[in-house]
Structure 1
């Protein structure tokens, strides 16, 4: 392990011990990857150092998780494909900001044609699901969290729509629903929306009003009603546990439900002030625990199966630190596939509740 100050940390390094503020607030768990956001938070909370994996970046150390993950992250960020994606992503962010502000401040009509053109280009230039997620992950540290989240949800929603074999017009409407789902957050002060610590009860109540704010902004727009309903209902859940109206399944619009799944997935795989980003299989596990009650079966099963399948044969790290390859999915427990260790032995994670996939390489 190495002890490094925030200035010495590099994006892609792996945290060897939990990083906490002087008051004990968790900023990053063990085995998480260093991001620009983490470095900035360490500076903000006056955290003097972090322990990271490795003794020398040039030594292999048996190809540990740190070395493998760092190499992958840096490889993606340094690729020509990422540079091209980054430029198009920033252009889409700029367009999204312009749309949000014009619709909110000036009540101007939303130019859906221009918005769709930039996002569709981002989607079609990626060859695989994992490649798209790699690009989105590397963009997290570079952009405004509200607009990057909306852009990501638009892209993920479009992906789900393709898995559901929707037609082109429906795909475009679903993409717009994802892009505009959080427009209501533009009415929430930045100091509340991006607050690093715990929200007060009144602040949390304000955050929970953003679907209503969003619907109020969009209701007079010349948009398909499903786009407006997605803004209003993307936090509603089939069992009535959602907000703002505690609707149950038969009252929730289908587009809102798809956007809600994309919204949760992107939020869980992003870093938060109180936790590190979750690995895709940890998110799948969370969905499996209660998702079948909260989301429409057709949509949640389609999403989970395709996400899990995207990582077939991928290399991962288990909670005990062992590296392995995914060799077979368990259809009844998608977050717990069969894996093969480097010594050739096979572990069925569906029967080993003491182990889980900690990260994807």
Structure 2
């Protein structure tokens, strides 16, 4: 292999190693043929250089000093690795690579829209934004496709816009699981897109602070729901969207903010947005921790979620998200790989797994073992 700068990349080159962002999120897998869209994505994330397989069609560019080269993996006839997992196959598909770019541009469009509302006090027509988000959502035929996609496109170093897009699509999926009609699904998705708009009024040095917030800084962060409601209150949109901005950090036991509301006074859409908001935040990398895998997040919800979140909504979410990953491959905290073969309804974060030697383990009976990653 040889090392090429991002500016030297050309369509048709093949990656010799996977390309990752600073946060460790994968942009392009190894043994992938580059397209113009993928090259633009690499440049957008300011990746300085990548490893390219040495082939005749790469000789026209002037490479930098070559690095030590592992043998490149062979391609399968389908263009996918023959022994790859579902997630790996999805990441290598042409459709996924195109949708990565669509996701990026949609994030930029959301940014432009929210900033226009906040800084120009514009009365925005949300139809196009909602249409584009719905189109991306509908491109995922199953729940596992959607959640794997959202996990795989992580890497946008952004605390508001990409998160809001994710929350919108997760909320719509929860709405589907709750059997909402199409109008309510649209309203719920738009509520997800706009729920964090108040953060645009939080100083960036606080919002994007890499370390732990001081008490004073956290108090400033806690103002964003009220800021969001004040921004949206004069917009010609469903009142549930405005309430979601105001109430998505309220909790059913009264422990939330900004008003310490309890279950009977929190808008139902805000309660759904709250679950999607926390799930997306916990499965994302932070400066102080690695991303949590879905079963770790399910475990956190099981410990305190039934007091803090609406019982029907949290049960529906946990049952479906756990079922989404049944039959998937996983890694245990002791490093062993396994298959998730059966859920424990009373302990969804601790399913029954089968190791590669065909041994089965009920994690609900093994307090020292738990799932740390899905593969």
Tell whether 2:232 aligns with 1:198. Answer: no
Structure 2 match to 1:335: 349
Match of 2:310 in 1: 296
- Cα distance between partner residues in 1 of 2:72 and 2:367: 36
Residue 266 in 1 paired to residue 274 in 2? no
- Deviations for 1:180-232, whole angstroms, at most 9, x for unmatched residues? 00000011122211111111221111111110110010011111111000000
1:117 pairs, out of 131, 138, 152, with 131
For 1:223, which of 237, 241, 265 is the aligned residue?
Answer: 237
User: For the structure 1 residues 288 and 69, does the alpha-carbon distance in structure 2 shift closer, same or farther, using more than 3 Å as the test?
Assistant: farther
**Paired position in structure 2 for 1:177:** 191
Equivalent residues in 2 for 1:1-361, closer than 5 Å: 11=19, 75-142=89-156, 144-361=158-375
Greater relative CO (CA pairs within 8 A, separation 6+): 1
- Alpha-carbon distance, 1:71 to partner: 7.4
The alignment of Structure 1 onto Structure 2 pairs a total of residues equal to 316
Q: Which residue of 2 aligns with 1:22?
A: none
TM-score (norm 2): 0.78
Corresponding residue SS for 1:267? helix
Q: Which has the larger radius of gyration?
A: 2
Aligned Cα root-mean-square deviation (Å): 2.8
Q: CA deviation at 1:88?
A: 2.1
- Unaligned stretches of 5+ residues in structure 1: 1-8, 14-26, 41-54, 60-66
| Distance in 2, Cα, partners of 1:264 & 1:323 | 27
Q: Deviations over 1:51-71 (max 9, x none)?
A: xxxx96769xxxxxxx99997
> 2:155 & 2:85 partners in 1: Cα distance?
17
Per the alignment, in what secondary structure is the counterpart of residue 339 of structure 1? strand
Secondary structure in 1 matching 2:361: strand
CA distance in 2 between counterparts of 1:168 and 1:34 reads: 33
- The separation in 1 between residues aligned to 2:87 and 2:361, in whole angstroms, is 27
Unaligned runs of 5+ residues in structure 2 are: 1-16, 28-44, 46-68, 74-80
Partners of 2:212 and 2:71 in 1: CA distance = 36
1:173 and 1:209 map into 2 onto residues whose CA distance is 24
